[in-house]
Copies of this chain bind each other. A is one copy, B any other.
Amino acid sequence: MIPIFQKSRVFLLKEKDPIFEFNKQIIDSTKDICVSYKINTAFYEANGVDGWQSMQKTIDYIPKNIFTIADAKRGDIGNTSTQYAKAFFQNMNFDSVTVAPYMGKDSVSPFLQFEGKWAIVLGLTSNEGAFDFQYLKQNDVFLFESVIKKVSEWGNEQNLMFVIGATQTEQLQRIRQIIPRHFLLIPGVGTQGGSLQQVCQYGMNEDFGILINVSRQIIYASNQEDFAAKAHEAALKFKKEMEVYF
């Protein structure tokens, strides 16, 4: 269960760094419930230097026993991907980063070279645009299946996960045949409409095998000064819903 931090609240604007203050309160109120935090880097980059500073303070504030994800969707030629990996794994000390696969092996592999760190590669995404290219088919194999199969050969279950949208559960069984043991990061439950029950039914394996991301339904559970308490309640509600499937 993974809140994502992206915007602050009016009543926090008196704070020196309102975005960090928002995140700090969310972390304090959910850290006993969440197994991971996913930070959506775009919302920090939009604020330039100040935003990058807020992101740095946020990652530094997250307790070290909680898995952190830089949701950054990076990927470029090899020497450039190496720099992205350094940015998120070394400079910011994230545990993982999301990676876009379009540019192939030399764009993904650099993220797999860091001990104890994870690349989370886009397989089948939760958005409407997933249908534009990810379902193109060669010899009865969808592009997303080719991507998952090929990328899984470049890493292992200890340094590689895949993003599979919760809105695409009808494909989860096929995907689990290709990668029975990899962890999946599953966004799209909550605001985007994915079914928690189906995600668990088709996505889980014997190691559990799924990280379910719920963002806006937790961090925006209230837009009043009780936002942190409401986030706690919302996170707890999702946790209890999930426990049914353990």
A interface residues (Cβ-Cβ under 8 A, vs B): 6, 40, 42-43, 45-49, 51-53, 56, 71, 73-78, 80-81, 83-84, 86-87, 90-92, 100-108, 122, 125-134, 136-138, 143, 146-147, 150
Contact = CB atoms under 8 A, between A and B. Distances in A.
A129 B130 CA distance: 21
A78 B191 CA distance: 14
A246 B48 CA distance: 39
25 contacts: A40-B83, A42-B74, A42-B76, A42-B84, A43-B80, A45-B83, A46-B90, A48-B92, A49-B49, A49-B56, A51-B87, A52-B52, A73-B74, A77-B125, A101-B102, A102-B122, A102-B134, A103-B130, A104-B128, A104-B131, A106-B128, A107-B127, A107-B129, A132-B150, A133-B146
B47 A91 contact: yes
A132 B90 CA distance: 28
